[in-house]
Each structure stands twice: as structure tokens, then as C-alpha cells.
Amino acid sequence: MRNMRAVAPVHAIEKISLLFSHPFTGASGRDVPDPYYGDANDFEAIYSLLRQACEDMALGWNWTSRDIAKG
């Protein structure tokens, strides 16, 4: 995150955070497991976990098209 914040525009720095640091992601506080040494099932499990967290975050933010346009 330090590198991302270093190159982010000043107005965007506060928006950078870890996906699972948000309480509405159902996986709040968890680390994202690394499936590199696993098999296809491990990658599927991580994909499902991340997809659900992204969906939960989008719903938790209650986005509107206006919010998305602002970035």
C-alpha cells in the first residue's frame, strides 16, 4: 500500500485501503490466502472470496452512478 499511496494523486490517497479492512466485506480482518503453491481449487476458493468481498463492498458503499463518475 505504501507504493500505491506514493504514486496516487493527493486527493485519492485516503481512498486506498486493504479490501478486507472494510467491515462490510464479510471477511473483515482476514488476510487473503496465497494460492500460489496450491491447485486449481485453491485459486477458485480465493476467487470466490475476493468476488464476494467486492460485491459486499459495493453494496456497503451504496454506490450511485454519480459516485462512480467521481472516482
pLDDT in tens, 28-38: 677 788 899 99
Query: Structural domain tally of the chain?
Result: 1
pLDDT in tens, 2-13: 999 999 999 999
Enumerate the H helices of 1-71 as residue ranges: 2-7, 40-61, 65-70
Query: What is the helix (H) or strand (E) element at residue 24, kind and residue range?
Result: none
Residue 1 lies inside a defined structural domain of this protein: no
- Are 50 and 44 in contact by the 8 Å Cβ rule? The answer is no
Chain mean pLDDT for the chain: 80
Please give the residue range of the domain that contains residue 51: 18-70
Residue 8 lies inside a defined structural domain of this protein: no
